Amino acid sequence: MNAFQASLPLTLDFEVGAIRRMGDKVAPFGTKVFLMVDPFLEGSEWVAQVTASFIERGIEYLEFYDIVPNPRHTTIDRAVDQVLRAGCDVVVAMGGGSAIDSAKAVAFVAVHGGNCWDYTERLGEEVRRPQRRGLPLLVVPTTSGTGTEATPFAVINNPELGLKCAIVNPFIYPDVALIDPQILVSKPPKLTALTAVDTFCHALEAYISIHCTPWVEMVALQAIRLFAANAQRCVEHGTDLEARANMAFASTLGGMAIAGAGVTVSHALGQPLGAMTDAPHGGTVAASTPHVIRWTLPVAAEKFATVAGILCPETLGLSVNERAERLPVILEQLFTTLGVTDTFCSYGLRPEQVDEFAHTVWTSFNQDLACHPKPINNQEEVAAIVRMCF
Ligand SMILES: NC(=O)c1ccc[n+]([C@@H]2O[C@H](COP(=O)([O-])OP(=O)(O)OC[C@H]3O[C@@H](n4cnc5c(N)ncnc54)[C@H](O)[C@@H]3O)[C@@H](O)[C@H]2O)c1
Ligand SMILES: [Fe+2]
């Protein structure tokens, strides 16, 4: 076995009703919370449960609801300003990946100063990479998709530059994640499907990454098994708490997998597509995945065959290469069944934009391209892959 390292520097607390313990979890970290909440939760019993737990412990809190999908750098900077002016010493986030990524950035920048955009990775630009933690951060994910509760990434959108880039820093993990399947029940079928597909893509991309380790392989394959058994159940029976809990676990495992091995081409293409079009993250990633697999075959044939075997056990009698070749079709059918059918075209990317788009991918998501098992050497090769996806 090759040498490897694995680290998960946070406490995970999975339980129905876990959010009622938020006050107890916050108490060791501070006394004044900046509570960043996804606007869909405004006025909900879930926020009431969390704020009641603060009051019980004598913890003050300031609420902030100004969060949009594909979170804006300006919103994050505004939130940092409020944290500093109010003297908050802990950040708590409840929401989807956009809310939690915003909170990761807020907690970090509140301590290290300046604007959040200066901390995002961009090829050839000066990037701030502090090697110390920010404010304590506790999170409650409300989507089962990004796994951001278990990653050292925060993805930020800069519409003025037309770019979406990520802070990548081991010091931005949350301290605690409370994962409460009750909050996932309100997710409508479409959002459930889009976020589940994001989880699947994290697991697949980390598994085929050149940085995959035995640890990553274990968590990625378990995430794929849980996705296979529960995604459709969550879409069709949104109140099935067991399926919701299993998908939440898959999402966290997917986060752990990309924390260890990174994502690859589908995310490198999907993130800037999300910035250009404001399309939902899971859909932008899914749009290229079957094409990218076809292009990558046979470099990762054995791994693709393993995934095909999990998703479609009927293929287990086939040879490794036959099974691997089936994977793009299996995924096209599965994504269609789940209702995730958008393409680069339907999201509004036009063929004449391909070169400019490839330039953005090459400069903003070079780290992800570098994880792909089939090497990508320049912007022209990125453009060729994008054309293939049309
Ligand atoms: N940091 C990471 O490791 C990482 C990994 C993958 C993706 N991302 C980023 O995360 C963002 C996507 O996050 P997301 O897919 O969780 O979606 P999201 O946070 O953007 O939310 C999408 C929509 O769903 C709503 N919503 C959230 N939870 C809900 C619930 N339980 N019920 C009803 N509505 C709900 C939100 O209000 C929002 O309108 C993107 O910006 C993406 O780039 C980050
Ligand atoms: Fe993702």
* 155 and 221 inside one domain: no
Asked if 16 and 242 touch (Cβ cutoff 8 Å), the reply is: no
Angle at the Cα of 45 from the Cα atoms of 65 and 246, rounded to 5 degrees: 90
Output the domain CATH number for residue 99: 3.40.50.1970
Decide if 105 is inside a domain.
yes
User: Phi/psi zone of residue 239: left (φ > 0), alpha (ψ -120 to 50 degrees), beta?
Assistant: alpha
Q: Which residues contact 258 (CB under 8 A, 6 or more apart)?
A: 147, 151, 153, 202, 205, 206
Residue 72 CA to residue 117 CA, distance in Å, equals 10
At 70, give phi and psi (nearest 5°). Answer: 55, 70
Decide if 5 is inside a domain.
no
Decide if 344 is inside a domain.
yes
Distance 275 CA to ligand 1 centre (A): 14
Of 148, 225, 134, 218, whose CA–CA distance to 179 is shortest? 148
For ligand 1, atom 32, the nearest C-alpha belongs to: 187
- Of 118, 153, 184, the last residue of a domain is 184
Residue 389: CA atoms inside 13 Å, Cβ hemisphere, count? 32
- Angle of helix 301-311 relative to helix 189-208, nearest 10 degrees, comes to 150
Q: Which residues contact 350 (CB under 8 A, 6 or more apart)?
A: none
Residue 390 CA to residue 388 CA, distance in Å, equals 6
Beta strands in 144-245 (DSSP E): 153-158, 163-168, 176-179
Decide if 207 is inside a domain.
yes
155 pocket-lining for ligand 1 (C-beta < 6 Å):
yes
97 pocket-lining for ligand 1 (C-beta < 6 Å):
yes
* 176 and 215 inside one domain: no
Pocket test for ligand 1, best of 66, 101, 102 (most atoms within 8 A of CB): 101
The CA-based dihedral angle spanning residues 171, 172, 175, 178, taken in that order and rounded to the nearest 10 degrees: -150
Which atom of ligand 1 is the closest one to the Cα of 40? 37
Give me the tens of pLDDT residue by residue for the chain, a chain 390 residues long.
Answer: 778 989 899 999 999 999 999 999 999 999 999 999 999 999 999 999 999 999 999 999 999 999 999 999 999 999 999 999 999 999 999 999 999 999 999 999 999 999 999 999 998 899 999 999 999 999 999 999 999 999 999 999 999 998 999 999 999 999 999 999 999 999 999 999 999 999 999 999 999 999 999 999 999 999 999 999 999 999 999 999 999 999 999 999 999 999 999 999 999 999 999 999 989 999 999 999 999 999 999 999 999 999 999 999 999 999 999 999 999 999 999 999 999 999 999 999 999 999 999 999 999 899 999 999 999 999 999 999 999 998
* 146 and 280 inside one domain: no
* 145 and 200 inside one domain: no
Pocket test for ligand 1, best of 40, 156, 276, 284 (most atoms within 8 A of CB): 40
Decide if 218 is inside a domain.
yes
At 298, give phi and psi (nearest 5°). Answer: -100, 15
Pocket test for ligand 1, best of 37, 146, 202, 367 (most atoms within 8 A of CB): 146
pLDDT of residue 315: 98
Pocket test for ligand 1, best of 36, 70, 98, 204 (most atoms within 8 A of CB): 98
pLDDT of residue 1: 76
pLDDT of residue 120: 97
- For the chain, how big is the Rg over CA atoms in Å? 20
Residue 199 CA to residue 57 CA, distance in Å, equals 35
pLDDT of residue 69: 93
For ligand 1, atom 30, the nearest C-alpha belongs to: 187
Domain ranges, residue 143: 11-184
Angle at the Cα of 170 from the Cα atoms of 278 and 173, rounded to 5 degrees: 65
Output the domain CATH number for residue 338: 1.20.1090.10
* 268 and 179 inside one domain: no
Distance 72 CA to ligand 2 centre (A): 17
**Ligand located closest to 174 CA:** 1
* 269 and 161 inside one domain: no
238 pocket-lining for ligand 1 (C-beta < 6 Å):
no
For ion ligand 2, residues whose CB falls within 5 Å: 198
pLDDT of residue 161: 92
Asked if 157 and 275 touch (Cβ cutoff 8 Å), the reply is: yes
pLDDT of residue 81: 98
- Of 184, 204, 225, the last residue of a domain is 184
For ligand 1, atom 9, the nearest C-alpha belongs to: 97
* 258 and 350 inside one domain: yes
Residue 171 CA to residue 17 CA, distance in Å, equals 28
Q: How far apart are the first and last CA of the chain?
A: 40
Beta partners for 251?
none
Decide if 2 is inside a domain.
no
For ligand 1, atom 40, the nearest C-alpha belongs to: 70
- Of 140, 159, 184, the last residue of a domain is 184
49 pocket-lining for ligand 1 (C-beta < 6 Å):
no
How many domains would you assign to the chain?
2
Q: Which residues contact 301 (CB under 8 A, 6 or more apart)?
A: 320, 321, 324
* 336 and 383 inside one domain: yes
* 244 and 160 inside one domain: no
* 268 and 380 inside one domain: yes
100 pocket-lining for ligand 1 (C-beta < 6 Å):
no
Distance 146 CA to ligand 2 centre (A): 5
* 87 and 233 inside one domain: no
* 346 and 360 inside one domain: yes
Residue 160: CA atoms inside 13 Å, Cβ hemisphere, count? 4
